[in-house]
Amino acid sequence: MSLEREEPSHFGAGPAQLPTNVLQQAAKDLVNYQGIGLGIGEISHRSGDATEVIESAKANLRNLMNIPDTHEVFFMQGGGTTGFSSLATNLTAAHVGKTGSKGTAGYLITGSWSAKSLEEAQRLGIDSEAIFNAKDFNNGKFGSIPAESEWAAKLKSKDYSYIYLCENETVHGVEWPQLPRALIDSDVEIVADLSSDILSREIDVSQYGVIMAGAQKNIGLAGLTIYIIKKSILENISSASLDKLRQLGVPITPIAFEYPTVVKNNSAYNTIPIFTLHIIDLVLRQIIAKGGVAAQQKENELKAELLYTALDKYSDFYAVPVAEECRSKMNVVFTLKKEGLDKKFLDEAAALKLTGLKGHRSVGGFRASIYNAVSVESTKTLAQFIEDFASKNA
């Protein structure tokens, strides 16, 4: 079977398109990794070869994101939903280790994923609450981020163990343009889900307590998640005894998801999916070769501009239900104002080999996810189709 393929123009929200050359190399390595006679998925997770993959991925991520020595990098099975659970219990334990109190976890709700994360913390029995729910400021719908003046004062109202935000909401197409100043200036640890925009733009990692990012949107396959965490938080988690956590009613983190344990074992406490990590590393190397995150950000901004310009040009035909100041550069969501044309839009797009454009089942409409691997050329084709479809069907 040939490993060649026509370059896709797939705008699915995840699992998402990956660079063809990365998949080609990974396919070869799945059969015979570096000539050792075994595939990358067959080697022991504690072997020298596996350790080299882990260390290479960590080093390349540090390079690309300029991760300071104050932070540790590790990899853990699962995706964002696993992260919701593990973040809640680990960060609460860290607060216990630091202060002796379990505190309250605060959540900034800007879409369905941050809402689900809060729901999971509450399901586990973590003392947690919404600092704000963006729906309350936007007629009961997601699509905007309230001004800091509306909620910043609340940060000082109680002992918050951490503040959580999802920087890019894939379902609703809402993205924080930058970390809120009020959070940066507070003493509360910032915990952020970057699953759908990691490595899409430059950020200052030093401002975060924890960064969590599932791989399957921008940097790899489903099944593995990147974590970047302050070393001081790891120390605080380790300082919280099980007896103290039980005394305070804090749920105990399962051992395979306890962050200090994972770090001490170099992400291999249990069997890490090394093939999945190898693909992440191949993607990281490609971004480095492209010119790093700065070059990738420039490309992503161009792609987003192409699509939003086309949609805004035909604002009588298309609706973009997101405030302009927080439009996602990764997930462009839109609907048709004229009824009865949704299927025709998808069918005609598919005829041009533009796929993955159907909106999330909870909101309908359309969603063009323009992650790192989606080319400028594919985005130009989609932008032209958006204009042509409006012209013909207005």
**What would the 3-class secondary structure string for the chain be?**
CCCCCCCCEECCCCCCCCCHHHHHHHHHHHHCCCCCCCCCCCCCCCCHHHHHHHHHHHHHHHHHHCCCCCEEEEEEECCHHHHHHHHHHHHHHHHHHHHCCCCEEEEEECCHHHHHHHHHHHHHCCCEEEEEEHHHHCCCCCCCCCCHHHCHHHHHCCCEEEEEEECEECCCCEECCCCCHHHHHCCCCEEEECCCCCCCCCCCHHHCCEEEEECCCCCCCCCEEEEEEEHHHHHHHHHCCHHHHHHHCCCCCCHHHCHHHHHHCCCCCCCCCHHHHHHHHHHHHHHHHHCHHHHHHHHHHHHHHHHHHHHHHCCCCEECCCCHHHECCCEEEEEECCCCCHHHHHHHHHHCCEECCECCCCCCCEEEECCCCCCHHHHHHHHHHHHHHHHHHC
Catalytic residue among 127, 193, 197, 281: 193
Q: Bridge-partner residues for 226, per DSSP?
A: 75, 213
Token representation of residue 215:
């791989």
Radius of gyration of the chain (CA): 22
Is 193 a catalytic site residue?
A: yes
Catalytic residue among 98, 102, 217, 303: 217
In sequence order, what are the residues at sequence separation of 6 or more whose Cβ sits closer than 8 angstroms to the Cβ of residue 37? none
Report yes or no: 329 and 201 within 8 Å, Cβ to Cβ: yes
Is 185 a catalytic site residue?
A: no
> In angstroms, rounded to a whole number, what is the distance separating the alpha carbons of residues 94 and 17?
37
Is 113 a catalytic site residue?
A: yes
Buried b or exposed e, range 19-49, using 16+ CB within 10 angstroms: beebbebbeebeeebeeeeeebeebebeeeb
Catalytic residue among 98, 113, 281, 303: 113
Q: List active site positions.
A: 113, 193, 217
